[in-house]
């Protein structure tokens, strides 16, 4: 027997359908990845603002011109782009792909 859930704030006559536990787990993982990426992005922006500000102040006072924060921005940026790809663009593995891989493994 499937029971319907209700959500606080909704009238009692509007129950939510029961969610498949596997689907709920997948949704929770995706939401956690998105939150982690947002934290990563915020840290990236804050640290880069800091190092570029330090470079600007030191460059203005010492006459240095080499933009050394490029190494930080580019190096960390590569990791950030890969993280963003994993969170927003990577497709989940489907049951069909698993079946094809199992078939390949059996035939070899």
Say whether pTM exceeds 0.85: no
Q: In Å, how far are 39, 82, 102 from 49, measured between CA atoms? A: 15, 21, 49
Report the chain's terminal Cα–Cα distance, integer Å: 44
List the domain boundaries for the chain. Answer: 21-107
- If you compute the radius of gyration of the chain from its CA atoms, what whole number of angstroms results? 24
Alpha helices, H only, 11-94: 21-62, 69-84
The model's confidence at residue 1, banded by pLDDT at 50, 70 and 90, is very low
Residues 87-99 have pLDDT tens digits of 999 988 889 999 9
Residues 15-71 have pLDDT tens digits of 667 888 888 998 999 999 999 999 999 999 999 999 999 999 998 888 888 999 999
Q: In Å, how far are 42, 49, 74, 76, 88 from 81, measured between CA atoms? A: 13, 18, 10, 9, 10
Q: In Å, how far are 37, 73, 75, 78, 90 from 42, measured between CA atoms? A: 9, 13, 16, 15, 21
């Amino acid at each position: 027997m499937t029971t319907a859930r209700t959500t606080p704030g909704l009238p009692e006559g509007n129950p939510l359908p029961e969610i498949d536990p596997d689907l709920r787990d997948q949704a929770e993982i995706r939401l956690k990845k998105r939150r982690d990426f947002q934290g990563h992005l915020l840290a990236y922006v804050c640290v880069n603002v800091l190092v570029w500000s330090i470079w600007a102040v030191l460059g203005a006072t010492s006459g240095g011109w080499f933009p050394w924060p490029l190494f930080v921005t580019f190096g960390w940026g590569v990791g950030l782009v890969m993280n963003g790809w994993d969170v927003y663009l990577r497709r989940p593995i489907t049951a069909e792909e698993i079946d094809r891989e199992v078939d390949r493994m059996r035939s070899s």
